[in-house]
């Protein structure tokens, strides 16, 4: 190595065969990049690295998740088949080609790190993204893959790797129109300092307000509670214990290390910026979000998502009604399924769908919607009141029905129901 720094030392080590030479707690920082996907039993190497990290130290692991992704279309044949053959070889030698997604969970399971941070970077195989920083890392990964594929050609001939397969893979990688990308996982574990910092903030805020409600007027018996950016889990687990009949969900990019976990607490790994939002609209009675917004770009996007999961009172009625329909084998939301079902029959030459938002009050500018909205609102209110006795066993009460009616009649809520109008022309067959 040219120009080697005077404080750098190289030590030859075969991770698979050689005894691990470093005592526990030897290093303040341990870093491992792109090694796990090349060796069998990579969790053993990760465990060695965990043990070698000193108290208060940092552990960083980075690797590929070798699975092609393409937005909106199938993975090209050359890229898909190339990886299929290569992964078949890796399985025979006990190597996992997708170790990255397991790093954070294994670090957490060790119980030796108070905070584990995980980041997934979608690395493009060409300069087709707006983020120019991704172009650089993508070019490096792509070049390495192409060089490796051509270098392994002869070595893996007995496993079915041919020149045609390799060049098919290379061709798809070099074609930027394919918009191929691969996830790279970055995981880091840190020791107690971060946990102490976050808990100090939590207990300070709790002491100021005299509890975890932050002076907000909570419902007496919340059913579902969401904590966005769960951190150490202190707030969420305390709330779960305070409301044992509620379902408490904490989301973050990494799972906190918890001692005693309340049975009504669930953690979901979710990157609120990049992951698909998996929390249904109007499902949580209480949503808490403490300090994550100051750390993310475009915080309004996250706030908008949080707003959407807080329910209107009207949703309580539909929760009960849908539960009743489910017991009868009835699907009340059939509208969006009509056109796809008719098209799938392949018996119609044309299928048309019109979606009309029937407003529950006269707030749209299109006055034609006022009449259809009035009709739907009148019918819905009459039907809801008639269900009170019939659906009592499913939890429907007069309060739930009247709350729904009150919100439907309030023009500030701008509530509407989509009505689907579908017509189709059946094919004419000439004999």
CATH number at residue 215: 3.40.50.150
Q: How far is CA 366 from CA 352, 356, 370, 418, in A?
A: 22, 11, 8, 15
- One domain for residues 381 and 347: yes
Residue 21 domain-assigned (yes or no): no
**Could you tell me which residues come within 8 angstroms of residue 300 by beta carbon, excluding any fewer than 6 positions away?**
none
Confidence of residue 257 (pLDDT cuts 50, 70, 90): low
Domain boundary among the residues 268, 296, 311 is at: 311
Other residues' Cβ atoms within 10 Å of the Cβ of residue 104: 25
221/313 Cα distance (integer angstroms): 14
Residue 250 β-bridge partners: 227, 267
Residue 431 domain-assigned (yes or no): no
pLDDT tens profile 231-246: 888 999 999 999 999 9
Residue 234 domain-assigned (yes or no): yes
- One domain for residues 238 and 329: no
53/58 Cα distance (integer angstroms): 7
- One domain for residues 136 and 184: yes
Q: What is the pLDDT of residue 192?
A: 55
Beta strand segments in 211-321, E: 224-228, 247-252, 265-269, 286-289
Residue 200 domain-assigned (yes or no): no
121/184 Cα distance (integer angstroms): 5
Average pLDDT over residues 360-371: 82
- One domain for residues 304 and 346: no
145/151 Cα distance (integer angstroms): 10
Domain that holds residue 380: 315-426
Average pLDDT over residues 132-161: 81
pLDDT tens profile 302-354: 777 777 665 566 677 877 888 888 888 888 778 888 888 888 888 888 889 88
Residue 259 domain-assigned (yes or no): yes
CA dihedral (278, 281, 285, 291) in degrees, to 10, reads 60
The percentage of residues in the chain with a pLDDT greater than 90, rounded to a whole number, is 9
- One domain for residues 307 and 321: no
pLDDT at residue 430 greater than cutoff 80: no
Encoded tokens for 302: 């996250």
Confidence of residue 194 (pLDDT cuts 50, 70, 90): low
Count of helix runs (H) and strand runs (E) in the chain: 12, 10
- One domain for residues 56 and 86: yes
Other residues' Cβ atoms within 10 Å of the Cβ of residue 28: 11
Q: What is the pLDDT of residue 318?
A: 79
Q: Could you tell me how far CA 197 lies from the centroid of its own chain?
A: 27
Residue 201 domain-assigned (yes or no): no
Q: What is the pLDDT of residue 249?
A: 94
Residue 3 domain-assigned (yes or no): no
Strands 247-252 and 224-228: parallel
Q: How far is CA 215 from CA 219, 235, 279, in A?
A: 12, 15, 26
pLDDT tens profile 263-307: 999 988 887 777 777 787 777 888 998 887 776 677 777 777 777
**The sheet that has 53-70: what strands, in order across it?**
27-33, 53-70, 180-190, 115-124
- One domain for residues 171 and 214: no
pTM of the predicted model, to two decimals? 0.45
pLDDT tens profile 392-408: 888 888 888 888 888 78
257/431 Cα distance (integer angstroms): 71
pLDDT at residue 138 greater than cutoff 70: yes
- One domain for residues 306 and 321: no
Query: For residue 390, what is the enclosing H or E element?
Result: helix 368-390
Average pLDDT over residues 31-44: 89
- One domain for residues 245 and 348: no
Residues 266, 267, 269: CA angle, nearest 5 degrees? 150
- One domain for residues 271 and 319: no
Structurally, the chain folds into a number of domains equal to 3
Q: What is the pLDDT of residue 246?
A: 92
User: Comparing 32-36, 147-151, 172-176, 299-303, which segment has the lowest mean pLDDT?
Assistant: 299-303
């Amino acid at each position: 190595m040219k120009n080697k720094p005077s404080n750098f030392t190289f030590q030859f080590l075969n991770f698979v065969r050689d005894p691990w030479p470093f005592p526990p707690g030897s290093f303040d920082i341990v870093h491992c990049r792109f090694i796990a996907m090349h060796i069998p039993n990579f969790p053993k190497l990760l465990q060695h690295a965990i043990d070698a990290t000193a108290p208060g130290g940092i552990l960083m692991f980075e690797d590929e998740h070798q699975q092609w992704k393409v937005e909106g279309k199938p993975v090209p044949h050359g890229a898909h088949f190339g990886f299929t053959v290569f992964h078949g070889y890796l399985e025979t030698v006990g190597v996992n080609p997708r170790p990255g997604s397991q790093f954070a969970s294994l670090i957490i399971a060790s119980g030796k790190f108070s905070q584990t941070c995980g980041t997934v970077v979608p690395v493009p195989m060409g300069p087709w993204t707006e983020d120019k920083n991704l172009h650089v890392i993508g070019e490096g990964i792509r070049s390495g893959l192409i060089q490796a594929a051509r270098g392994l050609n002869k070595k893996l001939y007995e496993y079915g790797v041919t020149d045609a397969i390799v060049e098919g893979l290379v061709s798809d990688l070099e074609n930027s129109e394919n918009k191929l990308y691969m996830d790279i996982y970055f995981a880091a574990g840190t020791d107690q300092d971060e946990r102490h910092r976050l808990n100090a903030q939590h207990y300070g805020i709790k002491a100021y307000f005299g509890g975890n409600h932050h002076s907000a007027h909570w419902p007496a018996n919340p059913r579902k509670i969401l904590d966005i950016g769960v951190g150490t889990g202190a707030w969420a687990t305390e709330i779960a214990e305070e409301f044992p009949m509620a379902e408490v969900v904490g989301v973050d990019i990494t799972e906190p290390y918890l001692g005693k976990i309340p049975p009504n607490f669930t953690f979901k790994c979710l990157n609120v910026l990049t992951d698909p939002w998996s929390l249904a609209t109007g499902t949580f009675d209480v949503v808490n979000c403490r300090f994550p917004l100051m750390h993310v770009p475009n915080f309004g996007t996250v706030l908008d998502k949080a707003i959407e999961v807080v329910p209107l009172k009207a949703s309580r009625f539909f929760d009960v009604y849908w539960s009743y329909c489910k017991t009868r084998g009835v699907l009340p939301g059939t509208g969006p399924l009509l056109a796809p079902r008719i098209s799938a029959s392949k018996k119609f030459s044309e299928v048309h769908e019109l979606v009309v938002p029937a407003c529950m009050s006269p707030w749209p500018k299109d006055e034609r919607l006022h009449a259809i909205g009035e009709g739907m609102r009148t019918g819905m209110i009459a039907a809801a009141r008639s269900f009170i006795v019939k659906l009592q066993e499913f939890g429907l009460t007069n309060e739930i029905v009247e709350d729904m009616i009150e919100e439907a009649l309030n023009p500030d809520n701008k509530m509407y129901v989509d009505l689907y109008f579908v017509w189709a022309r059946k094919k004419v067959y000439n004999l």
